[in-house]
Amino acid sequence: ALPLLADLRANLRRVLHGPLQEVMEGWYRKLVAECEARLDDTVLDENTKLMCDIQAHVLLAHRAVAAEEMTEKTAHVFVAAFAFLSTRHEWNMDLYGTDLSVPEH
């Protein structure tokens, strides 16, 4: 059973770090493109919230990576996502209304 679980975990990681990562990067690039050449901050503010959501999902997809699985690319993903979130996420704010809000503390 353990070898089967290891194979399934490896397959899941391939999907999370391959096709899913590419989809999230595509969404992120679209949001960035919408912000470029905009004079008002409304689009920037809204897209920044969405970009933070994407970066949080990127971190979730890469969580629990074992030390022996860590690569330069994975380390880059972690650092970039944490840097983006730490400088742009509005911590402990009610961003989505009361129905979907989850306390961050």
Single-letter code of the amino acid located at 47: N
pLDDT digits (tens, 9 = 90+) for 50-79: 999 999 999 999 888 888 888 999 999 999
Q: Write down the residue that tokens 């503390």 correspond to.
A: 105
pTM for this prediction: 0.79
Q: How many CB atoms lie within 10 A of CB 95?
A: 12
Q: What span, in angstroms and rounded, lies between the C-alpha atoms of 60 and 3?
A: 24
Which is nearest to 70 in space by CA: 17, 22, 6? 17
pLDDT of residue 64: 83
Dist. CA 28–CA 51, nearest whole Å: 6
- pLDDT for res 105: 44
Predicted confidence (pLDDT) per residue in 1-29, tens digit = 899 999 999 899 999 999 999 999 999 99
Other Cβ atoms closer than 10 A to 58: 23
